[in-house]
Structure 1
Amino acid sequence: MKIAFNQATTMKHSTLELDLAYCEKHGYDGIEIRLDKLKDYLRRHRPQELKAFFERSALRPLAFNALEQISFRDEESFRQIVNDLKFLGEIGGIIGCRTVIVVPAFDVGDYTKQAIKDETVRALRHLADLARPYGLRLAFEFVGYPNCSVNTFGQAYDIVRAADRDNVGIVLDCFHFHAMNSRLEDLRQADPADIFVFHIDDCEDLPAGALRDRHRVWPGQGCIDLDAILRTLKEIGYGEMASVELFRPEYWEWDIERAIRTGYETASRVVRSYFPPVKA
């Protein structure tokens, strides 16, 4: 299993240029590019410069992160989602990034689970059909908060399967999996080909429903049973890439290189117990 870096981990002070340089220096295999950091980068650079970086580097673009709250949108706000998807499709075609992470709605009110499923499937199918001409895949990420409309692995995977598009899969994030008590038995039933992105992280020991992104910590330094998750992934045949994603404000204040180096070192120690290093 390879190791990737998600730019949320250095979100406050870093840039795409710095994250690329330090990820390359410290041995990462991939990077998840934040939409806001990409737009900031393109104020100073042409897309072809980013393409040239990836052509000369061993670092690969894993995914764009993220189109948020794709469901329960009015027509005008959904149009912005569509515009951002097309923008990412164009840039992705240039730099060779073919996966976009998409996130469901929050605070939707008193909708039934079936209504949430129907609306989320509708939105995913619509976006998946728009993404196809660009060669894009959509990686659907549930969020382990009580107010997220889709907040467990089982619920999210049921939606992904109902969407019935070969360019729609799921994001498995260890924090979100733990935060609302997703079940390992649901992960065991998953087709590994449907797992488009795997986020590795850890967290403080708070009750289910109380955890928020600020409670994330480096892999292996918290209470998540990462061994059980990694063991299950190995059992079902998933071994692609683990992407370090933390949103901890404390870490945003660290020296950027220190944060990126620490992410690689901590993730590698955890992952290598189950998956040996793989280099292209």
Structure 2
Amino acid sequence: MKLSMNQATCLEKSSLEKDLELCEKYGYDMIEPRTMDGIPNYLKNHTIDELAAWFKSHKVKPLAFNTLCFFNNRTPEDYQKVLQELRQMCEWGKKIGCKTIITVPTVDLKKVTRQEIHKSAVKCLKEMGEIAAEYGMRISVEFIGHPAASINTFGEAWSVIEDVDMDNVGITLDCFHFHGMGSKLEDLAKADGKKIFIVHLNDTEDFPIGSLLDEDRVWPGDGCIDLDAIFQTLKKIGWQEDVVSLELFRPEYYKMDPEDVYRIGKEKSEAVIKRNF
């Protein structure tokens, strides 16, 4: 099982250049570059061709772009901006060898029915999937385990993916978000493991379902999520991606030396991985 680092884990004290260096130093296999800040900041002093050359000459590889935000139930104008961002990521992906784009559903919709959300998500993802396919790319939908998110459980996300029915459109299963709104292992057990494109590894403090925030994330194994049950279910349904990605948004971890975050993150992640694979 390979281990990836999501750039969000060292958000305040690092950079894409530093993260790449630390991934290599501490034996991470892959990285999730952030498209909101990581890559744009890198491109202030470098070119995308330089980043492509780095990946070609090093063991560490790009796992997925994180993140194309708020794709469903948008105004026509805002949705066109989403598609522009998608094409930009696809161009970057073609250059650096990154095959997957993570996208998240819109939050804070006002009085929109579940049926309208589902219909919009399916329509948008079909179009996004067709664009991505032109570049040999995949779209991976990350449901958000919070009441404000328009798609906030695995079951809802899987229903959308089933109706989209495209080989290059699947799901990002973030363990924190799976727990956050009480997603059910029974729903995961009914899914096709080949459509689980990305798995984010993390844990959380034991706050009530529906009240958790990203800042409540903790090292894998230090919280209340039944990570073993999630991974054992993934194995049963034929999940085949062979990589998990550490993603934390813990304010205390942002204050730490990034070297310590990478070292501890590797130790905590490998303990969970070794129990299950």
Shorter-chain TM-score category? over 0.9
Q: 1:17 aligned to 2:17?
A: yes
Q: TM-score, normalised by structure 2?
A: 0.97
Q: Residues of 1 paired with 2:238 and 2:169: CA distance? A: 19
Residues 144-179 of structure 1: per-residue CA shift (max 9 Å, x gap): 001111000010011011112211000011000001
- CA positional deviation for 1:244: 0.2
The list of structure 1 runs, each at least 4 consecutive aligned residues, that deviate by more than 3 angstroms after superposition, is none
Q: Which moved more, 1:9-18 or 1:230-239?
A: 230-239
Specify every segment of 5 or more residues in structure 2 that has no aligned partner in the other structure, as ranges. none
Mean CA deviation greater in 210-219 or 226-235? 226-235
Of all paired residues, the percent bearing the same amino acid is 47
Unaligned runs of 5+ in 1: 276-280
Please report how far the alpha carbon of residue 102 of structure 1 lies from its aligned counterpart in structure 2 after TM superposition.
0.5
Q: Does residue 1:159 correspond to 2:175, yes or no?
A: no
Q: Give the Cα separation in 2 of the matches to 1:76 and 1:183.
A: 36
> CA offsets, 1:69-112, max 9 Å, x none?
11111122222211211111111111100100001111112222
Q: CA RMSD in A?
A: 1.0
Which residue number in structure 1 is paired with residue 232 of structure 2? Answer: 231
**Cα distance in 1 for residues equivalent to 2:265 and 2:184:** 26
Equivalent residue for 1:6?
6
Distance, in Å, in 2 between the alignment partners of 1:28 and 1:190 is 29
Compute the displacement of 1:25 (Å). 0.8
Instruction: State the SS of the aligned residue for 1:34.
Output: coil
Given that 1:139 and 1:196 are in contact with CA atoms closer than 8 Å, whether structure 2 keeps it comes out as yes
Amino acid at match of 2:59: A
CA–CA separation in structure 2 for the residues paired with 1:42 and 1:146: 35
Q: In the aligned structure 1, how far is the partner of 2:203 from the partner of 2:54?
A: 31
2:125 and 2:45 map into 1 onto residues whose CA distance is 33
Q: What is residue 180 of structure 1 aligned with on the other side?
A: 181
- Asked whether the equivalents of residues 132 and 167 of structure 1 are also in contact (C-alpha less than 8 Å), the reply is yes
The size of the alignment, in residue pairs, is 275
- Please tell me whether the aligned partners of residues 234 and 274 of structure 1 are also in contact (alpha carbons under 8 angstroms): no
Alignment of 1:80-159 (within 5 A): 80-159=81-160
Structure 1 counterpart of 2:32? 32
Amino acid paired to 1:175: F
Instruction: Report the AA paired with residue 140 of structure 1.
Output: V
Native 8 Å contact 2:202 2:248 kept in 1: yes
SS in 1 for 2:249: coil
Distance 2:98 2:107 in 1: 27
Contact (CA 8 Å) 2:23, 2:262: kept in 1 or not?
A: yes
Residue in 2 aligned with 1:271? 273
